[in-house]
């Protein structure tokens, strides 16, 4: 065998030394194990501990979420909604949540919660072992009973429970809390942990966090709370739904005063401060819903539906869901117009329904369950009109009874209708202290929309008497026959196919053969009126003559008419003549948007209610107007032409045709079926509508800047009565809207587009007029300005006096030419000059 090298010798020596060392340890361990019982016991205990830790890791710790998640934790936050002026008008929330920074929490607030929940918070590492030992003892004494043991959890453990693992009542959850608490303390500072805790702790009344709770219980911000109010909030983590109830007021005061005593012991309050606070009553405000300046339930519900379609509803649907994403939504809601629309529609419904008998309950609940208050609360039915309230009839005795409200209070009720039964939910109003009387919510209903025609932005929407009575939005969801409000699009089709506002149309019997099965169908004017001879197309629209309308539709072709109606977004109908009189279903929103196209010279925008959406960090994640404006943000003007945004919208009607229709519809206001609006003294256009029955009454119209539409009718269509007409019931709703917001309506006429000639015509005959001037009283004027496309003006039929006047003008022109040395035209040329004057119409 070869000699070993020095390196090999050192390796063998080292290996032998290690082996001998381990052999010695082994011999020592076996000797101690054999000779010492205490040594064996210690080993058993160590093995048990190691095994326990392994089992704990395998079953609990291995699956726990990482505490690092808290560094980027995004709490679920409600969506806040703003109006077009930037003011908050509502929120979409199932929980009350408001996030504050640590520096925003008042020191007494922090100290009160530490006194109540975790006095050693600033010194422990996540676990209070003495408190935990007490909790173990408490758990053992209550084991097997239905009573829940006290928690013994530190604030750090509660953060782990509330955010990471949930509130399961088990030993396993407590172990998870402890492990996570240690991890959290290694990741977050004490201030960060307290910030999470005070923002996330559930405190009852659907509030999470101290700011939300301060609003829920005291209608204050945390910085405005008195010491006794702060101490009350600090007791809520133990039993939030108990201490906030009136019947547990005594228990709440006792617990609150205990917290005040603990604050004194910890040096966080003086004895005098605690004594003064302890003498105060709780001072809780009744439960109430969040109140905002705008009562726009129908509008906001439509916005909510659209947001859910874009971003989802719950946190699982994505980071920007409306109930967890903390979105900021800027809408087109105009609170002034919204309030006016609501008042106007309600007033009309009450006028029509006034004096009518109670027609039945809003809803019913089962009184046999004994929880009528809970049922009334969960029904989510209420009302916001004058001093009316919604309650449930608990009992009755003759025409009086007892009414119960959602706050648990009861009162006497008088004027109970014969057909009202206990369990019926109805509207009531106070008549004196402790006594209410039944009020009738109108059975008839309707919808109203106000829109900006130049952008398509919906400014106001009212879908019934009160959104709190039901979410069905009659402005967007009720499909109704529009009646005569469809006629402007019939006449627009005629104007596109060679007719003019001055075209003569026969107002006479019109019948069509519908086949062997249906026979002959004869149309009639409203009220079964017969014809009245030939009139201008303008007159037919102003007076809403059915016979003239179907004759025009038949002459131009119903296939063309329904194409125009479809292009305007009203509806996709079959080419039946009855569609020309509004037999097809549509909605108020669609009709208003179609009229907006008329007012905007035929250019239509999609009706929008959301301007843009920001995420919780303020980043815009969606906007309605995505146009680029290159150069708009230049720091300094570069001397080039000013940047311009591209034109939006879609041209759905010829601009000239749209103006001709608007010009005729102005006559509806000053001389026609909407004459009730004339005394407003504004440049307005519009059209009334009344469907067969009559089951629906309509008005749609407005100014160059604001378009509004309204219908009124029963949800289950039935006759409104023979006197019901759009001009009598619907148009006054629009009138009140204008009167309530008079400063918003400008005295600026509709702009005439290029390619339209304004020509004087005789209003009755439609013939062109050479002499005369339109009168200031447009309602009675025999001569009016009429809008024509080039080369469609009526040829003038001159009377003898007019011929003489024309000849005088020609002679004067000839003398002027001669004075300037210009030869007069020959006899053959003279007719050319006369023809020029004739074609130009002389003085329009």
Give the span between the Cα atoms of 146 and 148, in whole angstroms. 6
Of 608, 585, 598, nearest to 698 by C-alpha is 585
Integer angstrom CA distances of residue 745 from 184, 256, 357, 742: 61, 57, 38, 6
- Band (pLDDT 50/70/90 cuts) for residue 827 is very low
Name the DSSP letter for residue 288: -
Residues 107-120 have pLDDT tens digits of 999 999 999 988 98
Interatomic CA distance for residues 473 and 206, integer angstroms: 27
Tokens 């704990």 label which residue? 56
- pLDDT tens profile 313-340: 998 899 999 999 999 999 999 999 999 9
**Catalytic site includes residue 117:** yes
- E-strand ranges in 726-831 read 757-762, 783-788
- To which residue do tokens 């020509």 refer? 759
117, 177, 666, 786: the active-site residue: 117
Q: How large is the average pLDDT for residues 363-385?
A: 90
Instruction: Give the model's pLDDT for residue 800.
Output: 46
Q: Where are the alpha helices (DSSP H) in 92-170?
A: 107-117, 129-142, 155-159
| CA-closest candidate to residue 236, choices 81, 220, 218 | 218
Q: What percent of the chain has pLDDT over 90?
A: 60
Given this model, what pLDDT does residue 447 score? Answer: 97
The two structure tokens encoding residue 153: 């959890």
Mapping DSSP onto H, E and C, the string for 58-113 reads HHCHHHCCCHHHHHHCCCCECEEEECCCCCEEEEECCCEECCCCHHHCCHHHHHHH
Better-predicted residue by pLDDT, 291 or 151 = 291
pLDDT tens digits along 155-183: 888 888 877 655 555 556 667 777 777 78
Q: What is the pLDDT of residue 28?
A: 81
Q: Which of 312, 647, 277 is nearest to 455 (CA)?
A: 647
pLDDT value of residue 737 = 98
Query: For residue 545, how far is the Cα from the chain centroid?
Result: 39
pLDDT of residue 782: 87
> Does residue 38 or residue 746 have the better pLDDT?
746
Altogether, the residues listed in the chain come to a count of 844
- Predicted confidence at residue 144, as pLDDT, reads 52
pLDDT score of 66: 65
What digits encode the pLDDT tens for the residues 693-733? Answer: 899 999 999 999 999 999 999 999 999 988 899 999 999 99
| Predicted local confidence at residue 47, as pLDDT | 82
Q: What is the pLDDT of residues 524-583, one digit of tens each?
A: 887 777 778 899 999 999 999 999 999 999 999 999 999 999 999 999 999 999 999 999
* Comparison of pLDDT for 639 and 713, the residue scoring more: 713
Confidence band for 619, pLDDT divided at 50, 70 and 90: very high
First and final C-alpha spacing in the chain:
134
Residue 289: per-residue pLDDT:
65
Q: Please count the helices (runs of H) and the strands (runs of E) in the chain.
A: 24, 26
Question: In whole angstroms, what is the distance from residue 200 CA to residue 167 CA?
Answer: 13
What are the φ/ψ torsions at residue 389 (nearest 5 degrees)? -135, 165
State the Cα–Cα distance between residues 680 and 741, nearest whole angstrom.
12
Is the pLDDT confidence value at 46 over 90? no
- Whether residue 828 is predicted with pLDDT greater than 50 in this model: the reply is no
Averaged pLDDT score across all residues of the chain = 86
Q: Which of 484, 503, 544, 703 is catalytic?
A: 484
Q: What are phi and psi of 623, to 5 degrees?
A: -145, 150
Residue 140 above 70 pLDDT? no
Q: How far is CA 206 from the centre of its chain?
A: 22
Distance (Å, whole) CA 211 – CA 197: 12
Could you give the CA distance from residue 711 to residue 689 in angstroms, rounded to a whole number? 9
pLDDT average, residue stretch 454-474: 95
* Residue 504 confidence (pLDDT): 95
Contacts by residues 113-116 (CB-CB < 8 Å, ≥ 24 positions apart): 113/155, 113/197, 113/198, 113/210, 113/233, 113/234, 113/237, 114/155, 114/266, 114/268, 115/234, 115/259, 115/262, 115/263, 115/266, 115/268, 116/231, 116/234, 116/235, 116/237, 116/238, 116/259, 116/262
Q: Could you tell me which residue, 524 or 741, shows the higher pLDDT?
A: 741
What is the b/e burial string over 288-301, where b = at least 16 CB atoms within 10 angstroms of the residue's CB? eeeebebbbbbbbb
Confidence (pLDDT) at 797: 55
pTM for the whole structure: 0.81
641: left (phi over 0), alpha (psi -120 to 50) or beta: beta
Q: Would the pLDDT of 756 be above 70?
A: yes
**What pLDDT is stored for residue 7 in this prediction?**
54
pLDDT tens-digit map of 29-43: 778 777 788 888 888
Mean pLDDT (whole number) for 494-506 = 95
In the predicted model, what is the mean pLDDT of residues 803-820? 66
DSSP 3-state of 55: helix
Burial state string for 788-808 with b = 16 or more CB within 10 A and e = fewer than 16 = bbeebbbebebeeebeeebee
Mean pLDDT of 778-794: 88
pLDDT score recorded for residue 63: 57
* The pLDDT value given to residue 302: 96
Q: Can you read off the two tokens belonging to residue 142?
A: 């209550």
293 or 306, greater pLDDT: 306
> Taking 50 as the threshold, does the pLDDT of residue 843 lie above it?
no
Q: 672, 671, 689, 735: which is closest to 708 by C-alpha?
A: 735
Nearest residue to 675 via CA among 749, 779, 602, 588: 779
Per DSSP, 407 falls in state T
pLDDT at 15: 55
- What number is the average pLDDT over the span 207-220? 92
Which of 265-269, 590-594, 602-606, 816-820 has the lowest average pLDDT? 816-820
């Amino acid at each position: 065998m070869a000699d070993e090298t020095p390196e090999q010798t050192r390796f063998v020596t080292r290996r032998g030394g290690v082996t001998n060392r381990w052999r010695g340890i082994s011999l020592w361990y076996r000797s101690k194990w054999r000779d010492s019982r205490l040594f064996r016991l210690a080993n058993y205990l160590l093995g048990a501990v190691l095994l326990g830790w392994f089992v704990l890791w395998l079953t609990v710790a291995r699956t726990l979420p990482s505490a690092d998640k808290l560094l980027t934790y995004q709490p679920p936050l409600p969506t806040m909604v703003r109006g077009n002026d930037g003011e908050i008008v509502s929120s979409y929330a199932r929980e009350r949540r408001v996030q504050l920074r640590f520096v925003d929490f008042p020191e007494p607030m922090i100290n009160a919660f530490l006194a109540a929940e975790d006095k050693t918070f600033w010194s422990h590492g996540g676990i209070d072992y003495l408190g935990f030992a007490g909790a173990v003892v408490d758990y053992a004494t209550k084991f097997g009973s239905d009573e829940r043991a006290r928690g013994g959890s530190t604030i750090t453990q509660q953060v782990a429970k509330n955010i990471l693992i949930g509130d399961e009542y088990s030993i396993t959850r407590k172990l998870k809390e402890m492990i996570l608490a240690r991890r959290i303390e290694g990741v977050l500072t004490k201030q960060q942990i307290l910030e999470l805790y005070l923002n996330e702790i559930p405190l009852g009344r659907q509030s999470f966090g101290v700011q939300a709770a301060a609003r829920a219980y005291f209608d204050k911000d945390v910085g405005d709370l008195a010491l006794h109010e702060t101490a009350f909030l600090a007791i809520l983590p133990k039993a939030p739904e108990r201490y906030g109830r009136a019947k547990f007021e005594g228990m709440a005061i006792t617990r609150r005063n205990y917290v005040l005593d603990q604050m004194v012991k910890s040096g966080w309050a003086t004895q005098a401060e605690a004594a003064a606070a302890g003498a105060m009553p709780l001072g809780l405000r009744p439960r109430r819903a969040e109140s905002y300046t705008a009562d726009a339930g129908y509008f906001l519900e439509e916005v909510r539906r659209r947001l859910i379609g874009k971003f989802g509803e719950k946190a699982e649907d994505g980071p920007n869901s409306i109930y967890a994403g903390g979105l900021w939504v800027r809408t087109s809601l105009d609170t002034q117009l919204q309030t006016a629309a609501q008042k106007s529609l309600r007033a009309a419904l009450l006028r029509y329904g006034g004096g009518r008998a109670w027609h039945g309950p809003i809803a019913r609940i089962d009184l046999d369950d004994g929880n009528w208050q809970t049922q009334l609360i969960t029904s989510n039915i209420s009302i916001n009109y004058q001093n009316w309230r919604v309650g449930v009839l608990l009992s009755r005795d003759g025409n009086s009874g007892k009414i119960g409200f959602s706050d648990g209070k009861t009162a006497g009720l008088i004027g109970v209708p014969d057909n009202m039964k206990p369990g019926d939910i109805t509207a009531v109003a106070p008549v004196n202290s402790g006594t209410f009387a039944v009020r009738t919510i109108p059975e008839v209903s309707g919808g109203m929309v106000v829109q900006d025609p130049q952008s398509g932005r919906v400014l106001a929407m009212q879908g019934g008497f009160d959104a709190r009575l039901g979410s069905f939005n009659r402005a967007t969801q009720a499909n109704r026959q529009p009646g005569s409000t469809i006629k402007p699009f019939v006449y627009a089709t005629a104007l596109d196919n060679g007719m003019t506002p001055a075209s003569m149309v026969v107002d006479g019997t019109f019948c069509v053969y519908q086949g062997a099965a249906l026979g002959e169908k004869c149309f009639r004017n409203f009220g079964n009126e017969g014809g009245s001879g030939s009139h201008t197309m303008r007159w037919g629209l102003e007076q809403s003559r059915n016979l003239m309308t179907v004759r025009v539709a038949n002459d131009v072709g119903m296939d063309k008419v329904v194409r125009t109606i479809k292009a305007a977004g009203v509806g996709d109908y079959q080419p039946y003549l009855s569609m020309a009189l509004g037999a097809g279903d549509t909605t108020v929103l669609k009709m208003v948007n179609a009229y907006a196209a008329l007012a905007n010279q035929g250019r239509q925008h999609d009706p929008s209610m959301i301007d843009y959406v920001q995420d919780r960090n303020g980043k815009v994640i969606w906007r309605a107007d995505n146009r680029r404006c290159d150069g708009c943000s230049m720091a300094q003007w570069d001397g080039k032409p000013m940047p311009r945004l591209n034109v939006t919208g879609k041209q759905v009607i010829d601009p000239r045709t749209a103006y001709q229709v608007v010009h005729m519809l102005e006559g509806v206001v000053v001389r026609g079926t909407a004459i009730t609006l004339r005394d407003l003294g504004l440049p307005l256009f519009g059209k009334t509508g009344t469907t067969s029955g009559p089951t629906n009454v309509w008005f749609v119209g407005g100014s160059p800047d604001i378009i509004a539409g309204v219908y009124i009718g029963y949800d289950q269509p039935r006759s409104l009565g023979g006197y019901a007409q759009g001009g009598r019931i619907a148009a006054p709703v629009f009138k009140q809207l204008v009167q309530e917001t008079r400063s918003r309506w400008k005295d600026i006429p509709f702009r005439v587009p290029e390619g339209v000639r304004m020509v004087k015509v005789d209003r009755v005959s439609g013939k062109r007029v050479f002499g005369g001037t339109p009168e200031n009283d447009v309602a009675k004027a025999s001569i009016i300005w009429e809008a024509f496309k080039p080369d469609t003006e009526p040829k003038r039929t001159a009377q003898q006096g007019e011929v003489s006047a024309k000849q005088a003008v020609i002679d004067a022109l000839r003398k002027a030419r001669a004075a300037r040395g210009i030869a007069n035209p020959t006899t053959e040329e003279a007719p050319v000059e006369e023809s020029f004057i004739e074609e130009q119409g002389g003085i329009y």
